[in-house]
Structure 1
Amino acid sequence: MGGNNMKISVIIPICNSEKYLPQCLDSVLCQNIDDMEIICVDDCSSDSSPDILEAYSKKDSRLTVIRSGTNLHAGVCRNIGLEKAKGEYVLFLDADDMLFKGAPEKLVKTAERYNADIVRCRAEDFDDVTGQSSISPHNSLKKVPPFLFDRAISYKSLYPVFSKICVAPWGGLFKRSFLIDNKIRFNSLVCVNDRSFFWESVLKAGTIVFSKVFLVHYRTNINTSLVGRRIKNFSCHFKSYELVYKASGALPPKMRRSILDAEMFDMAHWLEQSAGTEYFAQTVEMMSEFLNNMDKTVWNNIGRCVWYKRIAPL
């Protein structure tokens, strides 16, 4: 590997991903970037994922495998990969997703052109059952006005648009020195371990660029359901909210409210998803307690909030 001249590091947290891992790795290794490294952090997998990783690492020296003896969850695994990374830029990819051919190279060129700390880009949904691809407004930046693409912006100059885009770490390219120098890391929660990372990164970034490039095939409708994990560990939403609440404390009221509205919309969505499950009653009780204790001074009238109107009937 290219030592200090590494252009890009692709960091992949892996936990029992044997079904999708080969496709994921193939999509990365086929990229036309010689000065690229792939850092796979195996989170205590009990399936054949470790064997797959070992086989791939023997075939391609760009791939490094780090193994954890205990289950650390995706956020901590990404942090481990980031500490190991040498690339000028960093991509985070999930083990069940795939990269578009040529996309990372295009994003690096965009980042270099604008000297960007972050380049946010598009993703295409891929249904694992039907094999069909589709474009969702949330993952494809359809809610971003066309004139905002391919230009240097910052959060504070155009803050409302950031509440309308996907916060997933696979939705962007990051300058590694920006993340390291600002000590930006993922939280250690079982799930919801990326939302605080998103907000901290966009708040601290000097230059952000929205790109029309599609980077990731985002796999949907899979058996290892995020829905079940999020509902089972719903308290992670509250802990994530508190992290974002603290990180946004110094912002002007309108900016802070925009961020916290987005967090509560996400929470309302997952609360609705829990309806009909064995966890629903407990989740509603937890949400009620959270609302009773939360700082409501952020909103002039919480009863008017759209997210509150979604939660209240439940």
Structure 2
Amino acid sequence: MPRFSVIVPAYKVQAYLPECLDSVLSQSYTDLELIAVDDCSPDACGAIIDEYAARDTRVKAVHLDGNRGLGRARNAGLAEASGDYLLFLDSDDTFTPGALRAVADRLEETGDPDVLVFDYARTYWDGRTVRNQLAAELTQEGPARFRTADRPGLLRVLMVAWNKAYRREFVLAGGFTFPPGYYEDTPWTFPVLLTAGSIATLDRVCVHYRQRRQGSILGTTSRRHFDVFEQYDRVFAYVGERPELDHWRPELFRRMLDHFEVVFTRPGRLPRGSHGEFLRRARAHYRRHHVQGARLRPRHVLLRFGLHRTFRALRRAAAVRRWALRCAVRSGRTLRSGALLLHYRIQLRLPLRPDRAVFAARAGRGDPAALEEAFRAHAPHVRTAWVVRPGREGAAPPGPRRLTPGTA
């Protein structure tokens, strides 16, 4: 039985799939099985998977007889898994080098928790890599194992399946599976985190989350983004069947409203002309799952009343405000630079003063203290000043005036 089962569903990703599979098989930690699921992809994904399975016995190829969607493809891989822990990796993303070794070590350190949450970084087509903004939630300080009630901030981290390792026995005992439709991670991740008896974190980037310029599900304009409503119905139905989770309703309600706002406001997701309908559906879900006493943000009230035009107007006003602020900052910088340049040109035309001397202080270069002492001994009438960059004040001798580069 391998330590890890890595499940990779594939559909229309022939350009990215080899890099994804290589990132798993090239890991320094080798006790794994790679379950690659061909979701009846019309391109070469199936052939690529078969090629990898033929040359590495750790690869298990699964071919579906029809396109089932991401959630059900993951379920097909889950049914074939035999590892102690399950990890999901989307076929256009990659593991970072050494990721599985770090995961294995952390699992051993924390006594094999039900769930281990690790970090990710977004990678862009221009080469940029940006770490998750909520990485602080993954700190390893404090108890090594905990429950979500001890660190509820974990519910703010991106609700996806692929930034976690799951103990397979825990998943099977809980009967967790992925539903059909878009946003299938939502009714998987919330129930898993809320019911896990033990959770641990790994403060390390283990997944590179590719931000594709086109072709990704979240970047596709489709009415299937309306699936988000059914996914939250599933979450609240799960909680409704378990009275011990009822106290999580306010937090889930806020997370639901935040998610609706993201889907509504991100350009390119909802088809043209469907925004009003989306907001009416959001209003119905607000009323259906509303929890008394939940702390809400002002924009949540607009979702409550379905105020489509008001909501859009406020979003535009906020965008205009941010634009005006950026313009003001740029204008201020331009004026300051112009004033400094004018001051500099004026100073260039003034006669030199024989009783003034200016030096530049650099750490490890020369002996500023000896030079200052020599001036005091042999030219006491000369006033000295030292140009020092911020953070390097110790390079200049004490006593004389200090100047900062770029100031007047």
- Does the TM-score normalized on the shorter chain lie above 0.5? yes
TM-score between both structures, scaled by the size of structure 2? 0.69
- Select which of 218, 227, 230 maps to 1:227: 218
Q: Which runs of 5+ in 1 are unaligned?
A: none
Counterpart of 1:268 in structure 2 is 261
Counterpart of 2:164 in structure 1 is 172
Displacement of 1:148 in angstroms is: 4.7
For the residues of structure 2 that align with 1:259 and 1:244, how far apart are their CA atoms? Answer: 8
Counterpart of 2:121 in structure 1 is 124
Change (3 A) 1:19 1:105: same
For the residues of structure 2 that align with 1:251 and 1:148, how far apart are their CA atoms? Answer: 28
Cα deviations by residue, 1:220-265 (Å, 9 ceiling, x for unpaired): 0332132344743122110001011112233566521112211221
Counterpart of 1:134 in structure 2 is 130
For the residues of structure 1 that align with 2:270 and 2:284, how far apart are their CA atoms? Answer: 23
Cα deviations by residue, 1:260-291 (Å, 9 ceiling, x for unpaired): 2112211210111147x771432331331341
Counterpart of 1:56 in structure 2 is 52
Any conservation in 1 of the 2:183–2:227 contact (CA below 8 Å)? yes
> What is the one-letter code of the residue matched to 1:166?
L
For the residues of structure 1 that align with 2:113 and 2:64, how far apart are their CA atoms? Answer: 33
Instruction: Name the SS of the counterpart of 2:172 in structure 1.
Output: helix
Instruction: Name the SS of the counterpart of 1:234 in structure 2.
Output: helix
Q: Kindly name which structure, 1 or 2, has the bigger radius of gyration based on alpha carbons.
A: 2
For the residues of structure 1 that align with 2:221 and 2:108, how far apart are their CA atoms? Answer: 37
Alignment of 1:46-125 (within 5 A): 46-114=42-110, 115-125=112-122
Displacement of 1:157 in angstroms is: 2.5
- Please state if 1:36 is matched with 2:28: no
Alignment of 1:269-288 (within 5 A): 269-274=262-267, 279-288=271-280
How many residues get paired? 303
> What is the CA RMSD across the aligned residues, in angstroms?
2.3
Change (3 A) 1:10 1:300: same
Instruction: Name the SS of the counterpart of 2:12 in structure 1.
Output: coil
Alignment of 1:143-158 (within 5 A): 143-144=136-137, 146=139, 148=141, 151-158=144-151
Structure showing greater relative contact order (alpha-carbon pairs closer than 8 Å, 6 or more residues apart): 1
TM-score between both structures, scaled by the size of structure 1? 0.88
Change (3 A) 1:224 1:308: farther
Instruction: Name the SS of the counterpart of 1:298 in structure 2.
Output: coil
Higher mean displacement: 294-303 or 22-31: 294-303
Change (3 A) 1:284 1:98: same
For the residues of structure 2 that align with 1:291 and 1:302, how far apart are their CA atoms? Answer: 17
> What is the one-letter code of the residue matched to 1:73?
G
Any conservation in 1 of the 2:254–2:294 contact (CA below 8 Å)? no
Any conservation in 2 of the 1:234–1:283 contact (CA below 8 Å)? no
Aligned residues with identical type, % of pairs: 23
Higher mean displacement: 57-66 or 111-120: 111-120
